[in-house]
Amino acid sequence: MSTPPAQPSTIDREAALVARLRTGDDAAYEELVRDQGGRMLSVARRLVRDEDEARDVVQEAFLSAFRSIGSFEAQSRLSTWLHRIVVNTALMRLRKRKTRRETSIDDLLPKFSGDGGFAAKPSAWGEESSTASEREEDRAAVREAIEKLPEIYRTVLLLRDVEGLSTDETAKVLDVTPNATKVRLHRAHQALKTLLDSRFSEAAP
């Protein structure tokens, strides 16, 4: 009985796809869009919060990636590199809008007393909502609170917590150090808790 041929690894398949992209292979471009388009559209939607604009962001990002594939050095996954392009394209759009209302991060972080303790003890949150409608209301409240965060904190929270990228991947997407990513994420979590305290602490015993 013959042994079935070994299947190419994910790394090998990606390397082959990159090689085809570099030759200008239209079929390779279509494959990239088919494999990554849905995920990239989700990223763009969360950032720009407009369906038509999100689609424009993704289209622009894929075209940019196709044109600059020669600069891809394979030091990260192709999807991570594409994430970076999508995020940067979306952020450029947001900066052009200049209409987003953001809450200052300093007003949302914990305050400390002279001895290093909390100036005001953080409130305890109640138990998780039990009904489907309450859970949906909770999710809507979280989404609304995330929207109020300054751009750099909102973006790191979406990439790290919502998209599930690792700290290193998020750092590469945002072009910052892993330590800066951790600091931003920690501050984003603190600010988000402050924004949501009035809702979730109500049910606390």
Residues 185 and 191: their CA atoms lie apart, in Å, by 10
Domains of the chain: 10-97 (1.10.1740.10), 105-200 (1.10.10.10)
Give the residue from 153, 10, 131, 18 showing the smallest Cα distance to 74. 18
How far is residue 10's CA from residue 71's CA, in Å, rounded to a whole number?
21
* CB-CB neighbours of 55 under 10 Å: 15
Kindly tell me if the per-residue pLDDT of 5 is higher than 70.
no
Give the model's pLDDT for residue 113. 41
pLDDT surpassing 90 at residue 2:
no
DSSP 177: -
The Cβ of residue 147 has, within 10 Å, a number of other Cβ atoms equal to: 15
- Give the chain's mean pLDDT: 78
Cα 159 to Cα 110: distance, rounded to the nearest angstrom: 24
pLDDT digits (tens, 9 = 90+) for 125-161: 545 545 555 666 767 777 787 888 888 888 888 888 8
Confidence class of residue 41 from pLDDT cuts 50, 70 and 90?
very high
DSSP string, 72-119: --SSS-HHHHHHHHHHHHHHHHHHHH-------GGGTSPPB-TTSSBS
Most confident of 127-141, 155-169, 186-200: 155-169
Q: How do residues 109-120 score in pLDDT, each as one tens digit?
A: 545 444 444 344
Looking at residue 122, what is its pLDDT? 46
Nearest to 167 by CA among 153, 146, 182: 182
Residue 150: per-residue pLDDT: 83
The model's pLDDT over 84-107, given as tens digits with 9 standing for 90+, comes to: 899 889 988 877 775 555 555 565
Mean pLDDT score, 180-194? 89
Q: How confident is the model at residue 165 (pLDDT cuts 50, 70, 90)?
A: confident
- Is 0.75 topped by the overall pTM? no
On the 0-12 / 13-18 / 19+ scale of CB atoms within 10 A, 188 is buried
